[in-house]
């Protein structure tokens, strides 16, 4: 039984960790912290958690989280707050899986440029393994410190990787047009995430090279393929709570048919338990096809008229894009079956 704690359990990714862990047969949730809601039950904030919400939140300072009480800590904190927490846990011998953006770049300057805040733990910037199992599994297995990927990045990297790995497309100038549900923007009320602002709407934001997931996509793909990847990323909010659907466009460098491209995708991921590649002729994956599960659903085609590869890549931002992938990483670093405790099915409807 792996004993875990969650620091920052009252946010969406924290609540999703609790939801998923409630079905995990080999994990025991020892503690869950929240400064804002200390003393409350998580189920008071998320009534949908049902019996799994019977977890009393405590302030971090009042919570004994050491190597004696927990094996692994999930940091489900806002960006900028994990810097202060990860080093202490690591020093005390507790493994850390950080769901924030704080330790995704080896170079603290990249973090500071894109997140517009100082990196408060630069000595640890290159200590975390990047937790995208499909591209970096072997490194993750032995890790004590995992930096869990961004939600958009998971979708984009898994979708673009086969194109780049086989040098099918120009590595400079990929386009990632991604639509996300609202849980991606957190649970703090803002004019932008009100129902009236979002329902039946599509809201582009941070277009044309300013979203902080842009360099993370480039880093993940460059590191995995050895190429110098540069891309344009266009995030958009859609009228949904969960899910990210990315359309990825690449300029083809040589002729290839849709059938060949699809076969290449299928082969790339043939042993992956959490990646599904739709066959030629099937409907394109929609957002709903990944919601609630830890799956990334892919499909690819060639637009021969323009010489463009078109890829659809879908994940649930809270599961494969955050808490589910964190549990996948937990399984890997704990020597468990990688799929253990993760749902076979999504929400269906």
CB-based contacts of 278, cutoff 8 Å, min separation 6: 262, 284, 285, 297, 298, 299
> Is residue 107 within the footprint of its own copies (CB under 8 A)?
no
Among 1, 138, 142, 190, which residue interacts with its own copies (rule: CB under 8 A)? 190
| 151 included as an active-site residue | yes
Query: What is the smallest separation between the CB atom of 126 and its own copies, expressed in angstroms?
Result: 24
CA angle 184, 294, 278 (to 5 degrees): 105
Distance CA 126, CA 304 (A): 42
Name which of 132 and 288 has its Cβ closer to its own copies: 288
> Is residue 187 within the footprint of its own copies (CB under 8 A)?
yes
CA angle 175, 178, 182 (to 5 degrees): 160
Distance CA 129, CA 147 (A): 6
Size of residue set near its own copies by CB under 8 A: 95
Among 183, 212, 225, 262, which residue interacts with its own copies (rule: CB under 8 A)? 183
Query: What is the smallest separation between the CB atom of 62 and its own copies, expressed in angstroms?
Result: 24
Q: Which two tokens stand for residue 324?
A: 């589910």
Among 238, 266, 330, 336, which residue interacts with its own copies (rule: CB under 8 A)? 238
Angstrom CA distances, 121 to 13, 66, 106, 147, 153, stand at 23, 20, 11, 14, 23
> Is residue 109 within the footprint of its own copies (CB under 8 A)?
no
Please answer whether residues 18 and 32 qualify as being in contact, where contact means their C-beta atoms are separated by less than 8 angstroms. Answer: yes
Distance CA 24, CA 277 (A): 26
Among 88, 208, 267, 337, which residue interacts with its own copies (rule: CB under 8 A)? 208
Residues from 13 through 42 that contact its own copies (CB under 8 A): 15-16, 18-19, 22-23
Name which of 72 and 178 has its Cβ closer to its own copies: 178
> Is residue 181 within the footprint of its own copies (CB under 8 A)?
yes
> Is residue 67 within the footprint of its own copies (CB under 8 A)?
no
Name which of 147 and 341 has its Cβ closer to its own copies: 341
Please answer whether residues 243 and 183 qualify as being in contact, where contact means their C-beta atoms are separated by less than 8 angstroms. Answer: no
> Is residue 280 within the footprint of its own copies (CB under 8 A)?
no
Name which of 176 and 333 has its Cβ closer to its own copies: 176
Name which of 48 and 142 has its Cβ closer to its own copies: 48
> Catalytic residue among 73, 151, 220, 275, which?
151
Beta bridge partners of 175: 232, 249
Among 118, 204, 226, 267, which residue interacts with its own copies (rule: CB under 8 A)? 204
Residues from 307 through 326 that contact its own copies (CB under 8 A): 307-308, 310, 312, 318
> Is residue 260 within the footprint of its own copies (CB under 8 A)?
no
Nearest by Cα to 169 from 310, 309, 302, 311:
309
Name which of 131 and 215 has its Cβ closer to its own copies: 215
Nearest by Cα to 161 from 321, 309, 42, 62:
309
> Is residue 194 within the footprint of its own copies (CB under 8 A)?
yes
> Is residue 281 within the footprint of its own copies (CB under 8 A)?
no
Among 108, 149, 292, 321, which residue interacts with its own copies (rule: CB under 8 A)? 292
Q: Which two tokens stand for residue 32?
A: 């869950």
Task: Give the CB-side neighbour count of residue 117, counting CA atoms within 13 A.
Answer: 12
Angstrom CA distances, 81 to 75, 94, 120, 177, 325, stand at 9, 18, 9, 29, 20
> Is residue 270 within the footprint of its own copies (CB under 8 A)?
no
Distance CA 231, CA 276 (A): 24
Please answer whether residues 151 and 315 qualify as being in contact, where contact means their C-beta atoms are separated by less than 8 angstroms. Answer: yes
> Is residue 142 within the footprint of its own copies (CB under 8 A)?
no
> Is residue 162 within the footprint of its own copies (CB under 8 A)?
no
Name which of 78 and 173 has its Cβ closer to its own copies: 173
Among 212, 293, 325, 329, which residue interacts with its own copies (rule: CB under 8 A)? 293
Q: Which two tokens stand for residue 109?
A: 């300057």
Active-site annotation, residues: 151
């Amino acid at each position: 039984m792996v004993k875990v704690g969650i620091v920052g359990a009252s946010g969406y990714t924290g609540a999703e960790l609790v939801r998923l862990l409630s079905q995990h047969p080999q994990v025991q949730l020892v503690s869950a912290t929240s400064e804002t809601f200390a003393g409350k039950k998580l189920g008071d904030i998320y009534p949908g958690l049902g019996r799994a919400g019977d977890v009393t939140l405590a302030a971090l300072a009042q919570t004994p989280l050491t190597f004696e009480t927990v094996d692994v800590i999930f940091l489900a904190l806002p960006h900028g707050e994990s810097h202060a927490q990860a080093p202490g846990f690591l020093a005390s011998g507790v493994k850390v899986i950080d769901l924030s953006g704080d330790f995704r770049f080896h170079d603290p300057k990249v973090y500071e440029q894109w997140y517009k805040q100082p990196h408060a733990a630069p000595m640890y910037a290159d200590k975390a393994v990047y937790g995208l199992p499909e591209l970096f599994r072997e490194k993750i297995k032995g890790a004590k410190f995992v930096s869990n990927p961004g939600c958009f990045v998971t979708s984009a990297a898994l979708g673009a990787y086969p194109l780049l790995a086989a040098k099918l497309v120009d590595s400079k100038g990929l386009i990632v047009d991604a639509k996300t549900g609202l849980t991606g923007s957190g649970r703090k009320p803002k004019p932008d995430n009100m129902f009236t602002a979002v329902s039946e709407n599509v809201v582009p934001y941070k277009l044309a090279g300013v979203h902080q997931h842009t360099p993370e996509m480039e880093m993940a793909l460059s590191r995995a393929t050895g190429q110098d990847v540069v891309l344009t990323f266009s995030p958009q909010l859609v009228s949904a709570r969960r899910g990210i659907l990315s359309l990825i466009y690449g300029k083809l460098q040589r002729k290839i048919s849709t059938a060949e491209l699809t076969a290449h995708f299928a082969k790339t991921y043939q042993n992956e338990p959490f990646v599904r590649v739709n066959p030629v002729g099937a409907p394109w994956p929609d957002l709903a096809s990944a919601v609630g599960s830890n799956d990334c659903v892919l499909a690819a085609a060639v637009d021969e008229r323009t010489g463009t590869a078109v890829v659809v890549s879908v994940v649930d931002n809270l599961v494969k894009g955050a808490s589910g992938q964190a549990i996948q990483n937990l399984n890997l670093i704990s020597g468990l079956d990688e799929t253990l405790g993760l749902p076979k099915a999504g929400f269906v409807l």
